[in-house]
Amino acid sequence: MTGVGVLAGPTGAVGTPRYACRVMVNSSPPDRERLTWVERRRQKIRDEIERNRRGEYTVPTWVLALALAAMVGGWLALVFLA
């Protein structure tokens, strides 16, 4: 079958436009969704704290990149200014 945006999926039949398969059915109030997000965020923070207490702490990549840039910059300054 040819056509742009045509999919056969679990909620749409063959030949149904892609957007027709994406109907949002949300029976819960918006506060419930926000509460769920808040709870997931809190659990993520708790898990990170537990990992850090076990000694599985890792330095963020941006901190490592900044340290590397500072070392290379210092080395270049020594080479060119000496």
55 within some domain: yes
CA 14 to CA 10: how far, in whole Å? Answer: 10
Q: What is the pTM of this model?
A: 0.40
CA 53 to CA 8: how far, in whole Å? Answer: 48
Question: Please, what's the b/e burial string for 69-82 (b: 16 or more CB within 10 A of its CB; e: otherwise)?
Answer: eeeeeeeeeeeeee
10 within some domain: no
7 within some domain: no
Q: Which domain holds residue 51?
A: 28-81
pLDDT in tens, 6-39: 444 455 555 555 555 555 555 555 566 677 889 9
pLDDT in tens, 27-76: 555 566 677 889 999 999 999 899 889 988 888 899 999 999 999 999 99
Count up the domains in the chain and report the number. Answer: 1
41 within some domain: yes
65 within some domain: yes
